[in-house]
Structure 1
Amino acid sequence: MPTEKSPEGPRGYAKGRRKREQIIESATAMFGEVGYNSASLREISARVGISHPGLLHHFPTKADLLAAVLQHRDEADNELLQADLEGGYDFFQALVRLVERNQQRPGIVELYSSLSAEATSPGHPAHEYFQNRYDMTITAMRTEIESRITAGEMPAATDPDSTARAVVALMDGLQIQWLLGRDAQGPRVDMAQVLLDHLRLVARIDMTVAVPAPASDAAPARA
């Protein structure tokens, strides 16, 4: 039954959901462009074409909007990563494909590079989020490395924790170089290729860097 907040029933709900998605997309772009601290809710609402009170109806605070932006991007990336794993790619191959996709989404790279730097401050609303995100990423990578060591696919002397942290540091550093090189003369940094070259050395993976195919396409077996 329709309610006062949604006089058109399901149609009103769908319209509200679309507006919420538009707000998240605009906030994603703006947080990436100027950082969280410099972003203005009024500017975001203007970009979306709604009033400031209208935006606050969906997201009462800027911290609420930031949380929604981060959750939205993580859900999308996790779905694609899981689809690659289920399609036959191993962990590191799927990681390279994620970086390949990011090279087609400069706004996302800019967002995470900007926010992760800001969030080193303990008072930042995304501080705990990025702490947890790094912990989860390093834990997953360390588990994969330990599995490869056990299977004889990586040297027994490999330190799983330091190797995992080095890969994450490489990925973060490549994003900065890639962003800075977008308007520079000369060859641009190919994040996916550099990551792949490194993983070929430390994890013995092999694949061809290219624009990612749909997850439903045939995928190579684990190298």
Structure 2
Amino acid sequence: MAVLEQRDQVGAMDYPVRSELGRDALRSMVGSARNNESQRGLVDLFATLSAEATSAEHPAHEFFVARYEALLASLVGAYEVALAAGDLRDGVEPEIAAAQLVSLMDGLQVQWLMGTLAAPMHQVIEAHLNLQLRTPL
């Protein structure tokens, strides 16, 4: 867990996902995905532990619950700021968009680890976000 906590601390500095950043927080998710492409061991550790920690009895369960709650809250806030700034296309709902983005990121990581992903993770994330934004990242 200490390795993942350290990874999150470094990631928060290099690729901040804070609500007030709006569109730039979404751009940070692309940077985070690009960074993950160079850290296979950490991505593998994260994917494995997060799947195992779905059990409430797992020692890392609370860590992952708190991590996902915080990330989703930050992304919902970022989407709300982007919406208020006129950056989102009509019909993009912040809570749904945030859940989609986190789910996409996690699913891409598993596909990437399996070797079945044809495109780089960061490009898929960027393409997804560009479908939600009025102007591309």
| Both structures adopt the same fold (TM-score exceeding 0.5) | yes
Equivalent in 100, 116, 119 of residue 53 of structure 2: 119
Deviations 1:39-93 (A, max 9, x none): xxxxxxxxxxxxxxxxxxxxxxxxxxx3x222211112112124xxxxxx81121
Normalised TM-score (structure 2): 0.87
The 2-side partners of 1:78 and 1:171 are apart by: 16
Question: How far did residue 155 of structure 1 move?
Answer: 3.5
Equivalent in 94, 106, 118 of residue 172 of structure 1: 106
Amino acid at match of 2:84: T
Q: For residue 191 of structure 1, what is the aligned residue in structure 2?
A: 121
Relative distance call for 1:80 and 1:73 in structure 2 (3 A) is: same
Normalised TM-score (structure 1): 0.55
Please say if 1:141 is aligned against 2:75.
yes
Instruction: Give yes or no for contact 1:103–1:191 (8 Å, CA) kept in 2.
Output: yes
The 1-side partners of 2:88 and 2:118 are apart by: 31
Question: How far did residue 157 of structure 1 move?
Answer: 3.3
Aligned length: 131
> Higher helix share goes to which structure?
2
Structure 2, unpaired ranges of 5+ = 17-22
Q: For residue 65 of structure 2, what is the aligned residue in structure 1?
A: 131
Deviations 1:9-36 (A, max 9, x none): xxxxxxxxxxxxxxxxxxxxxxxxxxxx
Question: How far did residue 204 of structure 1 move?
Answer: 3.9
The 2-side partners of 1:99 and 1:112 are apart by: 13
* Bigger Rg, structure 1 or 2: 1
User: Alignment identity in percent?
Assistant: 37
Instruction: Give yes or no for contact 2:87–2:135 (8 Å, CA) kept in 1.
Output: no
Relative distance call for 1:171 and 1:204 in structure 2 (3 A) is: farther
Select the structure with the greater relative contact order (CA < 8 A; seq sep ≥ 6): 2
RMSD over equivalenced CA pairs, Å: 1.8
Relative distance call for 1:197 and 1:180 in structure 2 (3 A) is: same
The 1-side partners of 2:133 and 2:64 are apart by: 26
* Displaced runs of 4 or more, over 2 A: 155-158, 203-207
Equivalent in 38, 41, 49 of residue 104 of structure 1: 38
Instruction: Give yes or no for contact 1:92–1:205 (8 Å, CA) kept in 2.
Output: no
Instruction: Give yes or no for contact 1:177–1:189 (8 Å, CA) kept in 2.
Output: no
